[in-house]
Every structure is written in structure tokens, then in C-alpha cells.
Structure 1
Amino acid sequence: MRVNKAAGTVLGTLLFSSIAQAGITSTSHVYEVNGIAYEGYVAYNSNVEQTRGTVMIIHDWNGVDGYEIRRAEMLAAEGYTAFAVDLFGQGNQPQSMEENRQRTGELYADREEFRARLMGSLAQTSEIPGATDKVVVMGYCFGGAAVLEMARAGADTQGFVSFHGGLGLPEGQNYDSVTAPLLILHGSADPVSGMQDLASLLDALQEAGIEHHAQVYGGARHSYTVFGSGDYDLAADRASWSALQAFLARQLH
């Protein structure tokens, strides 16, 4: 979780500036799920003849903002088409910690609606500029938990990546319907989902016979990838980004 993703750091500013010079084309993308409008964000590299594949990004608990936009443009700079999806609705982004909890709590309490928004957003990947039929889904914090929800729901993708997500298994769910490999990237000092939760998740994936990979970053706390946050860990951020790149190259080849 994070309070202010838009603040960033000098490192983030320099990174953003270098990306802006790489021929990145970006635009908002409004779409509907069950008659409700949602507003996501698309980025792709106009300097490459063919995208390397599509990456769907699921936002943290305060919705799509500068953090997801930056990550989308980082992926576009690597040659992928990135689509940061919206699970809260156009014009319905949280404005406070209380609203963050409210929006995510509503989805956690209504798993059917949660999955409808996730699957509806996934269906939109075929409509975005530079789309491909191969998609990997990734997410941070709340988005990491949403990635696992999609996996359990049997979403048809080429892979799932959770960055410091909530790892608990909701009552009545299992991993029997997972269709693609999972990559779990987590900090050993995460107070939200600790090592016991990670071990339980890996046991469940092993029991279900699902291909899975995990990297644990010693001492990294919950929001270790979030530029400017108190939890930010440069070494863990760089290592997890490298792990993502290797996973994407393998699953979207």
C-alpha cells in the first residue's frame, strides 16, 4: 500500500525523462464493464515495428495514478504494450486512506464483482493500440492480490506476476483453475503478507501442480518498489524488475 505515489524521487524523475525520449506513445483508454465506464492508461513504443507482447497492470489500492503510468511507460520502453487497467470506475478514484480501504474492501467483500471487473478489463486488451493475443498480468500491492484473484478465476493469460501483493487465500477458493505460470516477488519483512502466507501460497501451488516461481528479497518491506516511500528498496526494486523482464521474455516470446 502507499499514500502518495505521485511524489516520486529524483531517480524517478530522471527515469521518466529518459523514457519520454524513447518514442513512447501513451493515452488514456476509456472502456466499459457491465455498463460502467472505467478509465485506464495505454503506453507503447512507437519506435519498434512490432510489440513484444501485452502487459496488463493492475493498480494499487488508490487507483491508477503516476506510479502505474510510470511503470507502463517503463514497459513500453522495453518494447511491450502496457495497459494499466482501472477497477474503481471513471471519476471514482479514492482521495484518502479511508476511501482506499473502502474501494478495495468493497471488492474483497464481493468476489463476483471483483472478478467481473478483472475479466472485463482483460477482455479490453484486444482493443488497445498495439495489442497482441499474448498477455501477462502484473500488479502491485492490492494489484498483486488482484493478480492472484485472476489466476484463481482461471483467466486465460500467459502468466501472472505479483509484486508485494496480499497472498492470503480467500475462504472457499483454490488454485485448481490456474492456466499459466505465476511469479511471486516479495519482501521477507513484509508486515502485510509475511513468510507464512508466502509458504502457504507456494504449498497450494505445488499441490495444484501449477508452475510457479518466487523471489524473496531479504529485509525488504511491503512497498519496496514504490519510489519515494519509506519502504523503497533500490536493490529489491531492481532485482524484481529484472525478474519481471526475464519472465516476460519467456512467457511472451
Structure 2
Amino acid sequence: MKTHRVLLFLSALCLSTGLLRAEIKETPVEYDSGGTKCEGLHVVDTAKAGRLPSILIIHQWTGLSDNEKMRARMLAELGYNVFAADIYGKGIRPQPPEAGKEAGKYKADRKLYRERLLSALEVLQKNAQTDPAKVAAIGYCFGGTGVIELARSGAVVKGVVSFHGGLDSPAPADGKNIKGKVLALHGADDPFVPAKDLAAFEQEMKDAKVDYKLVQYPGAVHSFTQKAAGNDNSKGAAYNEAADKASWEEMKAFFERLFKSEA
């Protein structure tokens, strides 16, 4: 009986020690992009050693926010090494309507957007815990557009996931530069992405023979993963719990397949 109690105590001690070792660490990282100082966030589980599959996160139109930080922690808890990018520059965190103007600057200048995207990707690629053969990117709204632009730039990423991003195709020929897989998670009732954009996106992917998948969530509009968007679909942007959960699971399965092939 005494031996049994000792074993139980040791087991509990080992378990608690393991739990104490597991810690999600968040570290602000300053970096330069074309002369602009940016500040992103590196997030990783300190219990994970060695090089890890790594994910770049691109923020929505208000800049790097609590929403992206939350997603970074969620990914770190799944075992990924994560870097949340800063496209706008350190301290630039606009709110509507200024956010629309700031986002519009990059959507109108895709060369500048790609420069900022590639600078952030470089930070992740140089991180000591990044497995260079297992790098992918996700983005929300403005960032959803961004990860597809990142892929179009010819960046070396295994795949990208766009959550309710803009799906226009301003330079269809750039689809040929895409080296990885593309997953677009879209609200079927999103009024900000016209049918012609969806058609152009799919045509670009098909013409370039990209391995892509477009998933549309019935009843979901723009910003369906963001609780701060409220729940009024008539505004065109609203949170949808079912679509949020389903899209996250879709992403998880995508990454499991993507990185397993490189095991």
C-alpha cells in the first residue's frame, strides 16, 4: 500500500512538473521592412524543443491586435512556432474609418504589400525554432488577402490559409508563382467579396494548376471568426460561431496533411 502511494505521488509530481514546464511564451520582435520599423510577436510553447512547423499570421485591417495574438497562442498550444506580423509599422493600429484607408494603401500597392509580407516571413524563417521545410501562413480579412499575395510573390511556403479574405485577382498571371497549397475559407453570404472576385480567384488557381480549396460557410458573412464584429449579418460583417469553429478545424486538418508529407 505504501509503495502504491509513493508511485501515485511520483506520477502526480511528474505530471505537475510537465505542466509547469509547458508555457506559452510571447516575445515582441522589432524588425525592419524597407526602412519602416515594424513590431511583430513571436509565440511558442517553451516545452517544445528543436525546430518546429511554423506559422506566419497576417492581421486584419486594424493591425496586429488581440485577435491575432489569441490565434497565435492557439497555434502555439497545438505545437507550432508562430510569428504574428506587423504590416503597418510599429505603433500604427488604426480603427475605422482610418483602418480602411490604411488597408487600402496596401491593397492598391501590391508591391509594397508583398515587401512587408516577405519581411515578416524572413523574421520567421530566421527564427531558431523554425523548421524551414515546414512553414505556412494564415491571415484574416486584410490578412486573408495578404497570405494569397504572399503565395503569389513566389515565397517559399508550404501553404496559406485565408480566413474571410479578399479574393480578387488583380494580376492573374502571378498565380504561376505559387509554390504551395492554398486554402480559402469564405463566408457564403459575404457582401464584400463579389461573385466575380470568387470566379476570378478560382480561374487564376486553375489556370496556374495550384492545389487549392475554397470552402464556403452558409449563413456566414465577412469577419465570421471575429467576436468583436457582433452578430448582425445585415451589417455585412458579423461573428458566426459555427463557421469560426468549422474553419479552424479545416485549417488544422490542412496543416496536419501539409506537414505530414514533409515528415
TM-score (norm 1): 0.86
Change beyond 3 A, Cα 1:113–1:66: same
Contact 1:25 1:46 in 2 (8 A): yes
Q: Give the match's secondary structure for 2:105.
A: helix
Deviation for aligned residue 1:195: 4.2
Are 2:125 and 1:118 aligned? no
Match for residue 15 of structure 1? none
Rounded to whole Å, the distance in 2 between the matches of 1:190 and 1:137 is 22
Contact 1:188 1:194 in 2 (8 A): no
- Give the letter for the 2:170 counterpart: P
Q: Give the match's secondary structure for 1:44.
A: strand
Structure 1 gaps of 5+ residues are: 1-19
Change beyond 3 A, Cα 1:223–1:82: same
What pairs up with 1:71-90 in 2 under 5 angstroms? 71-90=71-90
Q: Give the match's secondary structure for 1:179.
A: coil
What pairs up with 1:42-191 in 2 under 5 angstroms? 42-50=42-50, 52-94=52-94, 96-128=95-127, 130-133=129-132, 134-171=134-171, 173-191=173-191
- Residue from 233, 246, 256 that aligns with 1:239: 246
Q: Tell me which moved more, 209-218 or 50-59.
A: 50-59
* CA RMSD after TM alignment: 1.9
TM-score (norm 2): 0.83
Q: Tell me which moved more, 172-181 or 60-69.
A: 172-181
CA offsets 1:133-156 (integer angstroms, 9 cap, x no match):
121011000000111111111111
Rounded to whole Å, the distance in 1 between the matches of 2:92 and 2:117 is 16
Rounded to whole Å, the distance in 1 between the matches of 2:62 and 2:256 is 29
Match for residue 5 of structure 2? none
Which one scores higher on RCO, CA 8 angstroms, separation ≥ 6?
1
Q: Tell me which moved more, 142-151 or 104-113.
A: 104-113
Q: Give the match's secondary structure for 1:245.
A: helix
CA offsets 1:116-138 (integer angstroms, 9 cap, x no match):
11111111112335222121011
- Number of residue-to-residue matches in the alignment: 233
Rounded to whole Å, the distance in 1 between the matches of 2:22 and 2:107 is 38
Q: Tell me which moved more, 39-48 or 59-68.
A: 39-48
Rounded to whole Å, the distance in 1 between the matches of 2:90 and 2:247 is 30
Q: Tell me which moved more, 59-68 or 221-230.
A: 221-230
Deviation for aligned residue 1:35: 2.5
CA offsets 1:190-239 (integer angstroms, 9 cap, x no match):
11114442233122211211111121111111111002422111111111
